[in-house]
Every structure is written in C-alpha cells, then in structure tokens.
C-alpha cells in the first residue's frame, strides 16, 4: 500500500471543522429540538396533573409529575410562570 492510499484511509481528508464537530447550525438544531421536547413534556405533565387533581389514589404520582414539571421549567428558564400564565399564554398563540 502506498502513502496516498494510507492517507485516504486515515480520515485526513475530512475538513478540520467537521472532524471537531464545530457545526454551529447542527448545535442550534439540537438545542431547539431539546427545547421543544421539554416544552412538549411540560404540557403533557400539566394535562396529566389537571386530570388527576381530585384522585387521592394518584396523589403521589401527581406530586412526582409536578416535581418533574417544575424541574423542566427551571431548565427552560420559565420557573416564574404559574399555571394561570401558562394557560393564558397558550391561548394567546
């Protein structure tokens, strides 16, 4: 095998930017997808919480859902929103 063949197999033809993973647009897309998934989960949890408020058998589960919802809101920097604000802003959209 000659030197040119070895070089092709070594991956040295990959541009340095791609090799390092510095693709900014890809990071932005990943971040946006993660943000959307968290928002979807918050809405899903809120729907479950609203549906189980009066069920004493699900009190522990409901408490865990509320904790998970609060954690996601903190991660999304939306912790200051309460249920009324979330509902009214969803209607505004």
Report how far residue 14's alpha carbon sits from residue 11's, in angstroms, rounded to the nearest whole number: 6
Q: Please indicate, yes or no, whether the overall pTM of this predicted structure exceeds 0.75.
A: no
Q: Is the pLDDT of residue 84 over 70?
A: no
Give per-residue pLDDT as tens, 42-63. Answer: 999 999 999 988 888 999 999 9
pLDDT at 17: 52
Residue 24: pLDDT band by 50, 70, 90 thresholds?
A: confident
Cα–Cα distance between 13 and 10 in angstroms, integer? 8
Q: What is the pLDDT of residue 25?
A: 85
């Amino acid at each position: 095998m000659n030197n040119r063949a070895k070089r092709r197999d070594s991956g040295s033809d990959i541009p340095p930017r791609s090799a390092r993973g510095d693709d900014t647009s890809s990071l932005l897309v990943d971040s946006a997808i993660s943000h959307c998934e968290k928002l979807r989960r918050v809405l899903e949890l809120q729907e479950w919480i609203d549906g189980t408020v009066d069920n004493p058998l699900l009190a522990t589960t409901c408490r865990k859902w509320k904790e998970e919802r609060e954690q996601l809101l903190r991660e999304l920097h939306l912790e200051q929103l309460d249920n009324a604000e979330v509902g009214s802003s969803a209607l505004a959209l």
